[in-house]
Amino acid sequence: MKPARLAIVGVGNNISALVQGVAVYRQADDPAELPGVTRPYVGGLHVTDLAFVAAFDVAEAKVGRPLGEAVFAAPNNYPRLVSELPDETTVVAMGARLDGVPPHLSDSVGPVGADRTVDDIAGQLRDSGAEALLYSLPTGSAGAVAFYAEAALRAGVAFVNCTPDLIARDPGWAARFTEAGVPVVGDDLASHLGSSVLHRTLLSLVTERGLHIERSYQVNLGGNADFRNLLVRGEAKRQSKHAALGGAYSDRVSVVPSGGYLPVLNDQKIGYIHVEAAGWAGATATIELKLSVQDSSNAAGVIIDLVRLAVLARRAGFAGPVHGAASLVKSPPLGDTDTSPQAFDDAVIKLDGAATILGGTQ
């Protein structure tokens, strides 16, 4: 199938993981058996059917350089999996700074470029032939997310929101995307294997077995820009993570999204989970868990499915918030309640069918 044409906002670790991973998988022996990949194919789109046709950032070290070099520029610290990425020649363009560069991260960003207008960006998106725009700036940049969502909407390019900032689940934005005939996917990327799903699984299991949760906590640590950002902008994340645990025991559970920005960890993420419960005759049962993951691999393994879904939706002529990804995002669109992985596959089948009928519109 024709590759999915992708534009990117924010050339951080997640994009480094995504771009390098695609390069790694291009060398796999069997395209149907890729370790670490949930779905080799989404509709007809293989993991490697991805073309990076535009990219935006504001960091001096990234703007003006080919994407294949920019992904390795500091403060990015995802490991280098390949010696170079000669095929990724798309040059990173100057984006709009706005609030996407919080003061607590600003030492990692160069001098502000000339700020851009929405129509500039929309025009550039149109010229690139992008089918979807992947939004991946630091959490909590309300101005930036609105700016780029508007640009995608004007350019008729599907929008994928990796952050907890409200787009896909916001009734106003949802209506505007629907009217404009443009699909939107989001909000807030779930991790491939994260602390929230592990914590929720443990709490449920313990409760199901008849033990009573007495107290529990979850603390996350990391060494990339996201953890540095969350130290300051963590409250929304904390509420989102806390809500994700559900349960009647929520007053006995404490959650800390970023317990520390630990430079020595680089892009590694550590989660500590503790569960204490009362069993038969009041006996205490305790579970201690440590999760250690490559944070951005954990993101890229989910992004790869979301962007293919968005491109399929656009090829199918779908408009507005795409349902079916509730297992892959933490805050799905209103009414999208089926959190099973199957819901995703069902949505893909429908969109793929429609896209095929439309004959691959682009």
Task: Give the number of other CB atoms < 10 A from CB of residue 357.
Answer: 10
Cβ 321 vs Cβ 184: under 8 Å: yes
State yes or no: residue 293 binds a copy of itself (CB under 8 A).
yes
State yes or no: residue 41 binds a copy of itself (CB under 8 A).
no
Q: Which stretch binds a copy of itself (CB under 8 A): 64-72, 91-99, 153-161, 288-296?
A: 288-296
- To the nearest whole angstrom, how small is the minimum distance from the Cβ of residue 202 to a copy of itself? 8
Cβ 240 vs Cβ 164: under 8 Å: yes
Whether the CA torsion 342, 348, 351, 352 is positive or negative: it is negative
Cβ 100 vs Cβ 115: under 8 Å: no
Convert residues 80-99 into a mask of x (bound to a copy of itself by CB under 8 A) and - (unbound).
-x------------------
Q: Quick one: which of 56, 294, 309, 332 contacts a copy of itself (CB under 8 A)?
A: 294
And the tokens for 276? 């204490």
Cα–Cα distance for residue pair 70/328, rounded to 1 Å: 27
Q: Quick one: which of 4, 8, 25, 53 contacts a copy of itself (CB under 8 A)?
A: 25
- To the nearest whole angstrom, how small is the minimum distance from the Cβ of residue 320 to a copy of itself? 28
Q: Quick one: which of 43, 100, 183, 259 contacts a copy of itself (CB under 8 A)?
A: 259
- To the nearest whole angstrom, how small is the minimum distance from the Cβ of residue 128 to a copy of itself? 25
State yes or no: residue 178 binds a copy of itself (CB under 8 A).
no
Q: Over the range 288-312, which residues count as b (16 or more CB within 10 Å of their CB) and which as e?
A: eeebebbbbbbbbbbbbbbbbbbbb
**Closest to a copy of itself by CB, 170 or 267:** 267
- To the nearest whole angstrom, how small is the minimum distance from the Cβ of residue 340 to a copy of itself? 10
Q: Quick one: which of 30, 74, 248, 290 contacts a copy of itself (CB under 8 A)?
A: 290
State yes or no: residue 205 binds a copy of itself (CB under 8 A).
yes
Q: What is the 3-state secondary structure (H, E, C) of 74-126?
A: CCCCCCCCCCCCCCCCCECEECCCCCCCCHHHHHHCCCCCCCCCHHHHHHHHH
One-letter amino acid of 85: L
Cα–Cα distance for residue pair 170/162, rounded to 1 Å: 14
State yes or no: residue 362 binds a copy of itself (CB under 8 A).
no
Would you tell me which residues interact with a copy of itself (CB under 8 A)? 17, 20-21, 24-25, 35-39, 81, 192-193, 197-198, 201-202, 205-206, 208-212, 215-217, 219, 221, 223, 252-254, 256, 259-260, 262-265, 270, 272, 274, 277-294, 297-298, 300-301, 304, 341
